[in-house]
Chains A and B, each alone.
Chain A
């Protein structure tokens, strides 16, 4: 995955968590992650298809996910709450949707979110593209966003789209 694809995701992460959770996100240095993800308690996965293939995965500890989901929903949401997975999945949906809109000229579809809740689990490596990890820190906890994306459109359109994405992020 090319590093320049990451800007739309950084912009979308900050916008989503600031708007929906009133949380200011400090972005750490993105890095390539070979192999499986680091263990986490909650992961929310959205797939890309169409002119791009890959996925975006939001990874939280139980504590960070609970606090951010509670701010999002406006009520206290713990991991055993019936809306916990729904809230975490919707945050991933917004991050993915906001990022894909920046890839102008590409027709990218996103899947419905899949949320995995379980102490210290791993997410297996993507087969489509290497994953970049974006470390995110907020006043209520830290989380990671892993992005694997491969543009499948013709080179000229993809270059234009990525150029636009980088400029507007």
Chain B
């Protein structure tokens, strides 16, 4: 399974990579903003995306809306400091499948990823 990590913080991407590797995922692609992520999404065809909200050039919510215009199915998890209920609802409306609030523990990040992929697998039958 290929996973695209989208965050302007390399530290956060490295933490995410470590968690994903522990979960057995090694096919990882990175992007530092929404513009790069959109290009990599089309080139790499990932199976899952982890997306930050606040980023330069193109923010995460815009990226999610653009991806949903071209792909209704690909699972996306928002991973952000934006914790208000209104923001979570905005992200769900835009098309995310799950939501992780920073700061997160390694365990909670792993759990959300596993939970999201299980739901997708169950829905696919």
**Binary contact track B1-38/A, C-beta < 8 Å → 1, others 0:** 00000001111101100100000000000000000000
Q: Which residues of A contact B83 (CB under 8 A)?
A: 97-98, 101
Kindly count the residue-residue contacts between A and B in the assembled complex, taking CB atoms under 8 Å apart. Answer: 55
What does DSSP make chain A's interface, helix, strand, loop or mixed? helix
* Chain B interface residue number, banded: 20 to 34
Instruction: Name the prevailing secondary structure of the B interface residues.
Output: loop
Is A89 a contact of B15 with CB atoms below 8 Å? no
A73 at the binding interface (Cβ < 8 Å):
yes
Check: A110 CB closer than 8 A to any chain B CB.
Answer: yes
List, in ascending order, chain A residues with CB within 8 A of B104's CB: 19
Q: Which of A107-126 contact B (CB under 8 A)?
A: 107, 110, 112
| Interface range on chain A (Cβ under 8 Å from partner) | 20 to 34
B112 at the interface (CB under 8 A from A): no
CB distance from A55 to the nearest CB of B (A): 15
B-contact 0/1 string along A1-33, CB 8 Å cutoff: 000000000000001100110000000000000
